[in-house]
Chains A and B, each alone.
Chain A
Amino acid sequence: MWEAVDIIPSKAEWESALRARCGDALYERFSAAHVAVCGLGGLGSNIAVSLARAGVGRLLLIDFDRVDVANLHRQQYKACQTGLYKTEALKANLAEICPYTRVDTVCERLTRDNAPALLSQVDIICEAFDKAESKAMLADVFAESLRGKYLVSASGMAGLGSPNGIKTKRAANRFYICGDGVCGTDGGMRIFAPRVMLCAAHQAQTVLRILAGEEQ
């Protein structure tokens, strides 16, 4: 029988393993990247975990909400974190999963007014909001004042439709949309963990592809 150990890999071991996995060139690009995750629900919490594991060096997590029992069936929180702010709960989980990722948090609602300043330092923005109006708002702020960055958005991942319906589309210059484009929660459709995780994985993979220079 093996025994669990409390000792985690050192930063040097961590870096060495990542370099061996993705090569020095990609390691440098991923570790130098600064990515914002706007909304920490089913999409955002899964995007953040994927990006941290892949070696993205710095994450900015933005959400105003607290972990609710109804979130636990599809979001990357633990039952014992119910009631905590999502920013602090996800930061704590990421610290356990990927202790050397730099994680900054903003525990407030992202709005048209505060978004340009809050997102001014990042390279890539992941839109992971729940409401269609919030998604459109962030796309408009991007169009208006954050054009030098990339926006990776999501639309349509509800229901029990085929997983193959989730696609990534380059909607415009530096603007990508992942999802099936159709299946929303507006008509009462529920969100299931695998399909929202698929969409989050599309978003995270798109971030890595942008960082790797494989934009199409």
Chain B
Amino acid sequence: MVKINGETRDIADRTLASVVTECGYDPARIAAELNGEIVPKSRYESTVLKDGDSLEVVSFVGGG
């Protein structure tokens, strides 16, 4: 099981890229943190989620 934004989901062994797409995130507006470290987008395809991982996906909103 993997925690995404605090919610436990059965998505171990999947790539970060596929999870981001499936959850409907726009990759151009997000930052993903896996176990407390920000993951570069160049590694979304090669990052495989493991049992016990904690993933936080931040969707930025405009304004500044």
State whether these chains interact: yes
Residues of chain A having any CB pair with chain B under 8 Å = 39, 41-44, 128-133, 135-136, 139-140, 142-144, 153-158, 171-173, 175, 177, 179, 181-186, 189, 191, 196
B56 touches A154 (CB 8 A): no
Could you tell me if B64 and A196 are in contact, using CB atoms closer than 8 angstroms? yes
The reply to whether B61 and A182 form a contact with Cβ atoms under 8 Å apart is yes
Q: What are 17 A-B contacts defined by CB distance under 8 Å? A: A42-B64, A130-B63, A130-B64, A132-B29, A135-B60, A139-B58, A143-B31, A155-B58, A156-B63, A172-B37, A173-B38, A175-B33, A184-B63, A185-B62, A186-B62, A189-B63, A191-B64
CA distance A133 to B41 in the complex (A): 13
Q: Would you call B38 and A142 a contact (CB within 8 A)?
A: yes
Distance in Å: Cβ of B48 to nearest Cβ of chain A: 18
Mask: chain B, 51-63; 1 = CB below 8 Å from A; 0 = not = 0000010111111
Contacts A171-B31, A171-B33, A172-B56; is A143 near B64 (CB within 8 Å)? no
Does any Cβ of A come within 8 Å of B24's Cβ? no
Q: Which has the most chain B C-beta neighbours within 10 Å: A130, A132, A153?
A: A132
Check B31 against A184 for contact (C-beta < 8 Å).
no
Interfacial chain A residues near B42, Cβ < 8 Å = 144
Whether a CB of chain A sits under 8 angstroms from the CB of B23 is no
A175 to B31, CA, bound (A): 10
B36 part of interface (Cβ distance < 8 Å)? yes
A180's nearest neighbour on chain B, judged by CB, is B61
| Given A136-B31, A143-B40, A173-B36: A128 and B64 interface contact (C-beta under 8 Å) | yes
In the complex, which residues of chain A have a beta carbon less than 8 angstroms from the beta carbon of B61?
132, 155-156, 158, 179, 181-186
A128's closest neighbor in chain B, by CB? B64
